[in-house]
Amino acid sequence: MNIVAAFETILLIGVLITAGSILLTRRIHMAVGTYMVFSFLLAILWGIRYGIKPLVAELGVGVVVTGLLFYFVMRKLREEKGHRDE
């Protein structure tokens, strides 16, 4: 087993662990943060396996756009929850 295959295996294990923890967590903040890590690990794995184009696409869509959308939705929900409690 060469070093690239070992690194790919470690990344794949990380992807599987983060995917499982996203499904099993009950806290939305933890799920969103873990999803961003999941997307980043997946982007690195795709970059190694398939080249730069899938890496850039996954980084752009998976990490940046989706992560920011989740963040802003969480912030909006937190603001609405704060207004309902008052």
Question: Tell me: the pLDDT tens digits for 15-65?
Answer: 999 999 999 998 888 888 898 899 899 989 989 989 888 888 888 888 888
Q: Is the pTM of this model over 0.75?
A: yes
- Residue 37 and residue 67: Cα distance in Å, rounded? 10
Spatial CA neighbour of 35 closest among 17, 45, 22: 22
Cβ contacts of 58 within 8 Å, gap of 6 or more: 39, 42, 43, 46
* Per-residue confidence band for 85, with pLDDT thresholds at 50, 70 and 90: very low
Task: Identify the sign of the CA torsion 44, 10, 25, 27.
Answer: negative
Here the tokens at position 57 are 């696409």
